[in-house]
Chain A
Amino acid sequence: MSRAEVLDGPGAGLPVAAPAPVAFARLLRSELRLVLGRRRNLVLLAGLALVPVVIGTVLLVTRDSALSGQGPAFLAQVTGNGLFLVVAALFLCLPFLLPLCIGIASGDAVAGEASAGTLRYLLVVPVPRTRLLLVKALAALTFAAAAVLAVAVTGLLVGAAFFGVQDVVLLSGSTVPVGEGVVRVAGIVAYVGLSLTGLVAVGLFFSTLTEVPVGAMAATVVVAVVSTVLDSLPQLSAIHPGLLTHHWFDFAEFLRVQVDWGVVGSGLAVQAAWVAVFGSLAWARFTTADVTS
């Protein structure tokens, strides 16, 4: 249809649409306000932030007892250097708490709107489906980042307050100055955050399949758990490198004298592949499905 026709025809006075990036930004702001303002999500973030507080407190109370120095990796270093509380807390949250929170946020993304019935009203506004899915994906990724930061930032604050921040002793026993230590811990936080993007994509895909948000959330968490289980079976070592969770703990690479960027890169590449596959599936499903909710 030519422009003149639009102006002369029955559609004279057509509303003018803002440029796509402007419209996208406005919707994204609204979505972020919705996701980050929602009480349930804030409770999740607060719960995550509580983890380093609890760990820090326990270590502080028991530091002079016989139990001091026991426990999983990185825990023993915390009393000596508060920076390690960030690493220890992420190490403890990564297997289950973080996937759970991310499963909830990403599984809810589309299915939540569908179950509330608000999806049909967004689509007739109209919000183009691809734009809506992208906004939902970015909001879910933002929540994942917020979740990791909630652990990391409180870990840093509590660790520094309880145990102080010293030069960082690496896995090999050599020591790097505080400044470099902080950069290395920041690298760990970034790697953990990026490691969760594949799971966000999986959750988003499940979210487009159902009108029952709890179903999508549970399925997402199940994927993470099953991936961990499969990763523990040596008989399946052939598929281990491609598993969603296989490279999650490679963040320890940042604590080696020479960071092997090949290891870091392959971990991130696997996540990128999961994002590409499940992002495409989510897009294919969401842009063609009938909205019946």
Chain B
Amino acid sequence: MTSTHDADGDLAVRTAGLTKRFRSGQVAVDGLDLAVPRGAVYGFLGPNGSGKTTTIRMLLGLAHPTAGRAWLLGSPMPDAAARVLPRVGALVEGPAFHPYLSGRANLARLDAGDATADPRTSRRRADAALDRVGLSAAATKPYRQYSLGMKQRLGLAAALLQPRDLLVLDEPTNGLDPQGTREVRHLVRELADGGATVLVSSHLLAEIEQVCTHVGIMSRGRLLLQGERAALTEREAARLAVTTRAGQADAAAEVLRGLGLADVARDGRALPGGAGTARLTAALGPTPPEKVSAALVHAGVDLVGLEVDRPSLEQVFVELTGEGFDVAR
């Protein structure tokens, strides 16, 4: 009882000092403190080999931590596995099914293992899950004839066999074409809208960055940072770039300074707009960009262009690690 109350009730996933040292001595996960709020879409990001999958295996009770603890939906793992895991849908390190069974038979097989699943609705739920991932037409085909994308979809269907409070999706877009990737993003958004928490891991930042409300970034077994995505990308001050007529550059700079923007400078580079234009840059700070444009227009400055350059997660990551996202492979 005490152990369950250690965990914050509003966290769907929590770990404290979670560590995994392999027998080889390699530390795959090092003192991880994850905090995934309920209802979040948590992007669990990091290069291949950074410890994401090992973390997920420990969360799900497949591997035992060397040190530290983990809670899913407020209950300690792996002790509460029987109670908690029926509410958790998972895709771990790629899909895996019996090759000679059909997609539908494979789902029935997993459903047969679930003590909380009603056998009477098994077929209906399997077909609904297949339909949801667009596999209805291939339901009776043996799994070994599935394409990589279809296999991935069947993995997602298995995670959706039952209503879930938490989905742990490890690299769900692996092997999918751009259209399939978009569908997965859409599915993740749909699940989150339905009230589920989604922990989605990826080594491709750009693929899931857009759907995440929260982000945790792993590198070499450690969690470099985590938090709300918007806050993370705003950590680095967004830059504003204003393009005006060349003759109005000074007036525009005056307006920007008047708004309290720091670091106002004239960009000396040659501009695509030609000699007639000038480009000013400034740190945007907390000022909303629309206020800047309104002020410029109000001051009679012809606004040729206005850009806000927010750093992407990738830039944040590169800055934190000093390495590219795919380098640590």
A in complex with B: yes
Determine whether the beta carbon of A120 is less than 8 Å from that of B96.
Answer: yes
State how many angstroms separate the Cβ of B170 from the closest Cβ of chain A: 10
B73 in complex: contacting residue of A10, A17, A116, A127, CB < 8 Å: A10
A34, B114: Cα distance in complex, Å: 16
Known contacts A120-B92, A124-B92: A291-B85 contact under CB 8 Å: no
Closest to B101 in A: A34
A128 in the interface, Cβ–Cβ < 8 Å?
Answer: yes
Known contacts A39-B100, A116-B96: A124-B90 contact under CB 8 Å: yes
B96 in complex: contacting residue of A2, A27, A121, A127, CB < 8 Å: A121
Known contacts A38-B100, A116-B97, A118-B96: A18-B115 contact under CB 8 Å: yes
A263, B83: Cα distance in complex, Å: 49
Determine whether the beta carbon of B38 is less than 8 Å from that of A126.
Answer: no
Stretch from B54-62, B206-214, B250-258, B293-301 contacting the other chain:
B54-62
Determine whether the beta carbon of B116 is less than 8 Å from that of A18.
Answer: yes
Q: How large is the interface on A (under 10, 10 to 19, 20 to 34, 35 or more residues)?
A: 35 or more
- Chain B residues 75-115 with CB under 8 Å of chain A are 75, 81-83, 85-88, 90, 92-101, 108-110, 112-115
A186, B200: Cα distance in complex, Å: 58
Closest to B108 in A: A30
A126, B100: Cα distance in complex, Å: 23
Chain B residues with Cβ under 8 A from A16's Cβ? 116
A23, B60: Cα distance in complex, Å: 21
Known contacts A11-B75, A122-B110, A125-B110: A116-B63 contact under CB 8 Å: no
State how many angstroms separate the Cβ of A146 from the closest Cβ of chain B: 19
Most buried by A among B87, B90, B96: B96
Determine whether the beta carbon of B61 is less than 8 Å from that of A124.
Answer: yes
State how many angstroms separate the Cβ of A263 from the closest Cβ of chain B: 42
Closest to A19 in B: B115
State how many angstroms separate the Cβ of A173 from the closest Cβ of chain B: 52
Closest to A119 in B: B96
A17 in complex: contacting residue of B61, B82, B88, CB < 8 Å: B82
What 0/1 pattern do residues 102 to 120 of A give for CB contact below 8 A with B? Answer: 0000000000000011101
State how many angstroms separate the Cβ of A37 from the closest Cβ of chain B: 9
A71 in the interface, Cβ–Cβ < 8 Å?
Answer: no
What 0/1 pattern do residues 109 to 145 of B give for CB contact below 8 A with A? Answer: 1101111100100000000000000000000000000
A1, B101: Cα distance in complex, Å: 40
B29 in the interface, Cβ–Cβ < 8 Å?
Answer: no
> Would you list the 6 A-B pairs with minimal beta carbon distance, nearest first?
A117-B96, A30-B112, A23-B115, A15-B116, A126-B85, A290-B63
With A124-B90, A126-B85 given, name 10 new contacts (CB 8 A): A1-B1, A15-B116, A38-B100, A118-B96, A118-B98, A121-B92, A123-B60, A126-B114, A132-B113, A291-B62
What are 9 A-B contacts with C-beta separation under 8 Å? A1-B4, A14-B87, A30-B113, A39-B100, A117-B96, A120-B96, A121-B96, A126-B113, A132-B113
**Interface of A toward B, CB cutoff 8 Å:** 1-2, 5, 9-11, 14-18, 20, 22-23, 26-27, 29-30, 34, 38-39, 116-118, 120-128, 132, 288, 290-292
